[in-house]
Every structure is written in C-alpha cells, then in structure tokens.
Structure 1
Amino acid sequence: MLATTPRGLRRLRSFGFTASAAVVVALGAVAPALTPAAASPTTDDCVADVVSTVCLPSGEAVSIDTSAADIPGVDEIRSSPNMRLVTNRPKLGPAATATNSDIAFQGKYAFAGNYNGFTIYDISNPRSPAEVSLVSCPGSQNDVSVYGNLLFLSTDSPRSDDSCASTATSATIKESWEGMKIFDISDKSNPQYIKSIETNCGSHTHTLVPGNRGNVYIYVSSYAPDATFPDCQPPHDLISIIKVPVRNPTAAALISTPVLFPDGGNPTGNYSRVTSGCHDLTAYPVKKLMAGACMGDGILIDIADPEQPRVISRVRDTVNFAFWHSATFNQLGTKVVFTDELGGGTQAQCTEAAGPTRGGNGIYDIVGRGDSRQLVFKSYYKIPRINAATENCVAHNGSIVPVILGDLMVQAWYQGGVSVFDFTDSSRPREIAWWERGPISDTALVTGGAWSAYWYNGYIYSNDITKGLDVLEVTDWRVFTAKINRIPELNTQTQPSYWGW
C-alpha cells in the first residue's frame, strides 16, 4: 500500500531497494494487447555479438567480467556471507535413484516430487526434516501441488496404464497413458491414489485455481505434439482444464481445452522455440490474473472466470529468449518475471560463451487496466557468476520472498545454485544473496543441481536433483519482514496474497 504511492516509492529507495547491476539490459518493448512484440535491440543499440555482450539503449557494451572467475571444486560449497545451508536431507527410497523435481508445502509438511513418485517431509523443525512417507509412482516430471487433503501429481511421459505400477511405453501407442493423478493425503504417512485424468500430451506442469461452490481447477500445461502421437496431435495450441469437486474428488473431470493461440503462436524461424502449448502457468487468484510461459510466447491471462481464461496480452523476445519456461508475479501484481530455460536445463548456459542475458530472466511491468493491460519489457537478470562447462545451469523455478516493501525473489539455477535478487526497480535488478555447490564432476557434464528453490515460512527449501532436500537461510535485514510472515499452504504456481494485497 505504501509502495503503490509516489511517497511509498521514495520510501523504498530510502531503504536501499535500488541498485545497479552489471548484468542488466534495458531494452523497452511495449506490446499492444494480443499483438506480440519482440524485445529486440536495434542495430544502433547493439555493440558486438549479442551472445556475449549486453546491448544497452545507449549503445554501450557490457561483457561478463571473467577476471575474477573462481569456480569451486567438486561439491565444494560457497555462498555470500548472508546465506547459508542449514541442512541437507539426502534422497531415500524411490527417490534415491530418481530425478528430484518440484515442491509444494502445507502446514508443517513439504511435498517433494521426483521421477519415481514423491516424498512427504515433516519440516516442523527446518534444521532436521524427517521423511513421513516415500511414495512410489513412476512417471517423468511428477510436479506436485496440494489443496486441503488432496495432492495432485503431473505425469509427462507415456505409461502402460494409469497405475503406480505402470511401465514406460511409447507415445505412438494409443493405449498409453499420461496426465494428472490425484492422491488423498489426509493420512500423510499413507497417501492413497484415488483418481486419474488423461490429458492431451500429458501434464508437464499444472496450476491450481480455486473456484466457487467447493471446486478447484487444475490448469494443465503440456507441449511438444507429434503427428505420430495419437493423444498429442499438432498444433496443440491449448491447455487442459480439470474441474475437481473437493468433497468428491473422484468426480474430477476434464471440462475444456481452451486454445490460447488461435493464430498458432510463435512460428519461430528466429531464436525462440515454436509455440505448441505452454510449459508453465502461474495464477494470482486474488488479482484474477495468470501469466503463461509458452515456449515462444509470454502471455497475460484474465481468469475472472476460471472455466474460460482469456489472453489479454502477449510478448516475444526473439533475441534472448529461447524457451519461455515459467512466470512469477510480484506481490502487487504489477510485474512478471519470466524465465528462459535455454538448453532445457541440461546444458551449461552460465558460461562466458552464453553471455549475461541468455538463459536468464526477463522482467516485465504490467501497465494499463482491464483488457488493455500490456506486458512491457524492462530488463534481464542472470546470476553474475561464471560456471564450469561441466555444470548444467540456467534460470529455473523460484518464488517471491514476501517482504512488506519491495520485490525480492529466490530462484534455482540448477548447478548455478540458489540466488536471491531484488527487482524493486524493474530496470535494475541486483543479486543480494547466493549459495551454490561446485560441479558434480570436473570432467563431464552431469545433470544436477537445484531444480526448485522456494521461500516458505522463513526458510528457503531447494529440491536438488541429485543431492536431496536442501534447507537454506538468509540472514539479511532486507528479508526480516519475510521471516515473520506465515502462510498455511504454498503451491508456487498459485501465488498467495502474503500481506492481503
């Protein structure tokens, strides 16, 4: 409230929420509603190669400074002085040999997905998390979210059937299954699988949107159609919406598959991927908004009617965004941080060759009102540390740090570690805390690192692909108000209103 007024903005500056960063681009791009605009520099603005140089409006070039590059040794931990590892919980049970994925939270529990199922942790003592249950239910991705006594699990690989005893098969087989699974978690020590819903192209990620009359909606994101896949046919410019009656979840059903890109979306031919579905959607229910990261397009969606979402703004970046991966609103719902998962999360994109903008974040302001709202590009943010060529590193999953004043975000960067940055000034984001492990190997590129890093009730929880659950703490005056904030549940793709804003 204070931050929405000019006086409030002056107060934010007095608290030190603005600073410059070397790895920033200020390439403004205003997109009329539903008309994509590329956040591309003009020839006069660009100096040298955009792969290794930041192109600023003034025509100045700022390259990554590698003079002080000091890559830690294998598994060596390094951090800023204000961030530390509280504890690590190695993977157990079905997760031991699987890729860890996303996390959701409820009360004193964390629900961590992995490609073999999910693990429920008791985090009532963040310094000593304890496994409550280890659930085996194989399927790639296995992103999780929770709502009351229900847990939702995304399956994005063809399986022989919808059971938790299924085996991998081919998407070319009509009888193969992929989509959403629902579990009853009223007994955290013994979750029960109660329902499945098949969706087109499976479920890579999903987003919960609370409805009325005791319903919750699941927006399913999926992509990569193929003419040889009976259940995943091109053009697939759609999402799937599942309606779940909370008191009767076994009646959950697919109710619609709205097309978000009637014109086909980004046809590529440039740097970005073809748009054929969405990778991730983030809802901000109190604002009745949703932001979509859809391969070659970034979109803003009105969800006032959760059964009929409407795209109201769309942007593209054909110079620096290869794959629109995820989106995060600030608390006021006036900005969106989009991420670019250049290389799909398996490549080394935090090297000098990758440069300071590609494979990072794009920060956009939301301007205008109603259906005239537009996404306006303000800057890029990427971690300012050089990583080894053996470390997969790119922008990945993160969340808002719920401070009262200003905009802070914590984010996972695979083997680039965990970064906390301030984007109160959309044009000048800067890192304020960081933590990382050294490479898994110094001789070969081995996929690993932090898949997701989220702030929940005073701590940062990071699901490391190979190392297990990390609990981190930031000791910095700028996060003090976030530490006193408490919420009962967190699904990061369904942003809560932390302070009633």
Structure 2
Amino acid sequence: MKHFLKTSYFTTILSFVLFSLTVFQSCDDEPVDPIIIVDSDNDGIPDSQDNCPSISNPNQADTDNDGIGDSCDTTNDNDGDNDGIQDDVDNCPLIPNPDQLDDDGDGIGNACQNNPDLTPLFPCENGMAGPYPCDNYDLMGHIPIDVLGEPGAEGNDSWGWTDPTTGKEYALVASTQGTAFVDVTDPTNPLLLGRLASANPGNGGNIWRDVKVYSNHAFIVSEASNHGMQVFDLTRLRNVANPPEAFTPDFHYTGFGRAHNIVINENSGYAYIVGGSRNTTYAGGPIFLNIQNPLNPIEEGGISGYSHDAQVITYNGPDADYAGSEILVGSNENEVAIIDVSDKSNPQIISTIDYDNIGYTHQGWFTENLNYFILGDETDEQGFGNNTRTIVFDFTDLDNPIFHMDYFGPTLAIDHNGYVKGNIYYLSNYRAGVRFIDISGLNSSVMNEVGYFDTYPSSDSASFNGAWNVYPYFPSGNIIVSDIEGGLFIIRQSN
C-alpha cells in the first residue's frame, strides 16, 4: 500500500510538471530548449562541476586543492600535509615533516612513527608478543581468519589503502571465500567493515586470490575458474552503517577467466593480469588492461609466456636508455624477464636472467634506487635443503642484468612475497612469519635481519603455512600481515 501511494504521489507531481510546461509553451510561441546535462565519465558529476570530467571520480578527491581531481592530476604536485614535500616522496604524507627525519631508515618518517599514544595489544618483550615470537615488532591488533571469512576459510593475499581524503587506513584481506575490508586506522581496535564474496561462489573456495589498488578502487582476481576481475569502489568504506556488510562489486570484468595475480602501475593506470590459463591467447602471460577509468577496463594487448608474478614501474633508474619507459619485471617460474611494455601493441623483451638451484622463480621487487632487484624462489628450500634464500640481481644495466648475491635467513622456512620500503626489505616467510631485513649495505653485498614477527609459532620448517603477505606502505607505520591460518595481524616497530 505504501509503495502504491508513493508511486501515485510522484505520478501526480510529474503530470503537474508536464502540464505546466505545456501551458508555458502554448502561451509563448517560442520553443523551449531542453536542458542537457553532460557527464562524460558517467560518475554522477556533471562535466561543468567535475574536477576530472574524463575519468570517473565520484568522490571528487583533490588532495592538493588545485582544482584538478586526483584521478586526472598529472602535475605531480600533491602535498597533502602542505609541508613542501610531494606525497609520492614524503615519508610521512599526512603529518607535516619538512625535515623528513627517519632515524631508523625504514622509509617511515619520525613524525609518523614515534607515536607514544599507541599501546600495543602485546608489546614485544623478552622475545615474545603474547604467544608470538618477535624481535623489535609489537602486535597491535589481530582478527582471526574465521572472522574475516566464512568458517573453514584460509587466508591468502592482502593489500592496503589509505583514504586520500580522510587519512584513514584500510586492510584488504583475501581468503578462499572472498575479500574482507578492515579499518585499521586504530590498529588496536581494527573494525571489519564488510566482505565481498568471490565472483563465483558456486565453484567453491580457491586458495589463490590477489588484490591491488588504483585510484581508490580495489581490483581483485582469483584462480577460481571464470572469476574474472572484481572492481570495488573503496570510498564506500567511508560510510558503512551496519558493519560487517555483504558488499557487491561496482564492476565485474569478464574479459579473462582465472588469474593468479594482478599487478598495477599506479603512475600509468595500467593493470597487468598474470598467471592466467595456459590455454588462452597469451598462455598465462601478462594481459594489459587500461584501468584509467576503473569501472571501464579496456584490454590493450599482452605478451605470451607464463608469468607467475611481476612488478611494473615507470622507469627512472640508472639505465638512461630506458628513462620514462614502462618496464615489467616478470618472475616466470624458471627465470626473470625484463620487458619494455611502453607500447602495448608491441612489447619488447629486453633481457632475461636465471640463477643457480632454481626451484620456482616466484616474486621480486626493485630497491628504491632501482639498482637492484630482490627475488624470492618459493621451492628451493624444499628442493635443495637450504635456509630461506633471497637472491639479489644488479639491474643497473637492464640489457645485461647480473647476479649480485644470495642472502640466507636464519630458518628453513619458505619465502613468499617481499617488498621494499626505504632501506628495509619486508619478507613474508610462511612458517617463520614476517622478517625485516636491512638492505642499506647492498652495494657491499651485506644484508642483515633487524627484526621479525612470527605469526606461526609452532614451527619454522619448509611448509606452506603461516604468513602469506606483508603490506608495509601505510604512512602511519602500521604493517599488516595476512596469514593462512591466523588471519590478519597488525604489527608495528617497537618504540
């Protein structure tokens, strides 16, 4: 009955408006011109008011208040805290720190890191943070996997998003069942805001799911058959009325089926889908997707040859021959491949390199000066009996990469994903948890472990349990770890 009354009311009003317009026109012999509202990017903001009319940006974020939306701003003049340091190089972008002091060299400015008001859930004392072995890192907060996902779920990949408008920090935690979104701004009181179910829940769970972020959107792929890519507008996390909510995607891209991983170059606005089916056009090689409009991905090519994982950057390193080029470094099972993907219709292999005792060439990351590439081999610990091994290549000449050194950790555990921030290499090390390795001495072939947090206390053996991924890029200094059995851990360097 209420629905009928509401419909009748609006029908009456509409009839009155149409009648009024008809009378107005009949009283005036001149025709009435229609009002045309142009919204080129279909984001709900008229072009006349849109600070980025060519790329969808319904939140109208404009970090540097220059009238150009962040999605369109290519002038690289974002300085959110107005301290004279651009956000892309500021080691504490939300708190003014023009001196950029960073006493421990971890890439996080003192202004962000030294926060005495934060009381850990379990401080690291005498080698333990509650039930977890540790060195120099406290446990701030924890959400078990059976809270993040359905009963029986297992954790896998993770990533993070810092809201450019509010400064809040969010963990994006994948599992066999889907993706959970957690507000970790207060790390000791993390809040599960909601979950996005897998694109094909009828096919059951899948242990391989990956998520990355671009332009305030999450992009999610999985090795579940016919999963495609889910796109989720992260600005929706600002207004969650009754957490945890059951989210739906804002867009579902079905131009490919399954994929192991997604890689995004945030400078160019391209996503690279890797680890897909070997029976498709590119045989599991990178697929190039233009995601500059996140809700309208466009495929622009690819390169054949299976790639398990990759990093893609806009190159500004020591090899002047490739200045400004878009460079993909693929970890391709039995070698590392360096590829120029600037021209999406004609990618060019620059060089490849292998190394001794190859198990499975899994994943790697550039140092910040782009002189070195740090690689993890996922199965050499099992196949050759060595301790955790990290391989470092000299990439100062992309045409002629050379082996630089091996680093062996203190345990037998398998290494998984590793990332660089400042002078620290952050390594998710399965049963040995997450390890923190000082790489400031790489020029002299020196790497030293300076801390760890063990999310899997019962064993450090070479088995596939424990820490899957670590995300160290929050401005606050909070670090998130996704663990297969343990769920989400939020840790922080001890004061």
TM range (shorter): 0.5 to 0.7
Give the aligned partner of residue 270 of structure 2. Answer: 217
Name the CA shift for 1:437/1:142 in 2 (closer, same or farther; >3 Å).
closer
Q: Does the alignment pair 1:115 with 2:179? A: no
Give the drift of 1:308.
4.5
Name the CA shift for 1:201/1:135 in 2 (closer, same or farther; >3 Å).
closer
Give the aligned partner of residue 296 of structure 1. Answer: 334
Give the drift of 1:194.
3.5
Q: 2:332 & 2:382 partners in 1: Cα distance?
A: 22
* Among 293, 306, 312, the residue aligned to 1:283: 312
Q: Does the alignment pair 1:313 with 2:351? A: yes
Give the drift of 1:256.
1.3
Unaligned runs of 5+ in 2: 1-102, 106-126, 163-168, 317-325
Q: 1:336 & 1:127 partners in 2: Cα distance?
A: 34
Q: 1:86 & 1:325 partners in 2: Cα distance?
A: 30
Q: In the alignment, residue 234 of structure 2 is paired with which amino acid?
A: I
Give the drift of 1:447.
4.5
Q: Does the alignment pair 1:77 with 2:144? A: no
Q: 1:131 & 1:200 partners in 2: Cα distance?
A: 30
After superposition, where does 1:71-470 map in structure 2 within 5 Å?
Answer: 76-80=131-135, 82-91=136-145, 92-107=147-162, 108-137=169-198, 138=201, 140=206, 141-158=208-225, 177-188=226-237, 189=240, 191-198=247-254, 202-210=258-266, 216-222=269-275, 225=278, 232=279, 236=283, 238-246=285-293, 249=295, 251-259=296-304, 277-285=306-314, 287=316, 288-305=326-343, 308-317=346-355, 319-342=356-379, 349=381, 354-356=385-387, 360-368=389-397, 373-386=399-412, 393-402=413-422, 407-426=423-442, 427-439=445-457, 447-455=464-472, 456-457=474-475, 458-470=477-489
SS at match of 2:236: coil
Name the CA shift for 1:235/1:150 in 2 (closer, same or farther; >3 Å).
closer
Give the drift of 1:394.
0.9
The answer to whether the Cα contact below 8 Å between 1:242 and 1:254 also exists between their aligned partners in 2 is: yes
TM-score normalized by the length of structure 2: 0.61
Q: 1:332 & 1:93 partners in 2: Cα distance?
A: 37
Of structures 1 and 2, the one scoring higher in RCO (CA 8 A, sep 6+) is: 1
Name the CA shift for 1:425/1:290 in 2 (closer, same or farther; >3 Å).
farther
Q: In the alignment, residue 141 of structure 2 is paired with which amino acid?
A: T
Give the aligned partner of residue 472 of structure 1. Answer: 491
Q: 2:155 & 2:330 partners in 1: Cα distance?
A: 23
Give the drift of 1:102.
1.7
Q: In the alignment, residue 357 of structure 2 is paired with which amino acid?
A: N
| Deviates most, 425-434 or 458-467 | 425-434
Give the drift of 1:84.
2.6
The answer to whether the Cα contact below 8 Å between 2:415 and 2:427 also exists between their aligned partners in 1 is: yes
Give the aligned partner of residue 6 of structure 1. Answer: none
Q: In the alignment, residue 180 of structure 1 is paired with which amino acid?
A: M
Name the CA shift for 1:95/1:279 in 2 (closer, same or farther; >3 Å).
farther
Q: 1:185 & 1:88 partners in 2: Cα distance?
A: 22
Name the CA shift for 1:363/1:401 in 2 (closer, same or farther; >3 Å).
same
The answer to whether the Cα contact below 8 Å between 1:201 and 1:222 also exists between their aligned partners in 2 is: no
Q: In the alignment, residue 367 of structure 1 is paired with which amino acid?
A: T
Q: 1:278 & 1:241 partners in 2: Cα distance?
A: 13
Which of the two has higher C-alpha Rg?
2
Name the CA shift for 1:235/1:126 in 2 (closer, same or farther; >3 Å).
closer
Name the CA shift for 1:381/1:96 in 2 (closer, same or farther; >3 Å).
farther
TM-score normalized by the length of structure 1: 0.61
**What percentage of residue pairs aligned between the two structures are identical?**
20
C-alpha RMSD of matched pairs (Å): 3.2
State the number of aligned residues.
338
SS at match of 1:218: strand
Q: 1:113 & 1:207 partners in 2: Cα distance?
A: 15
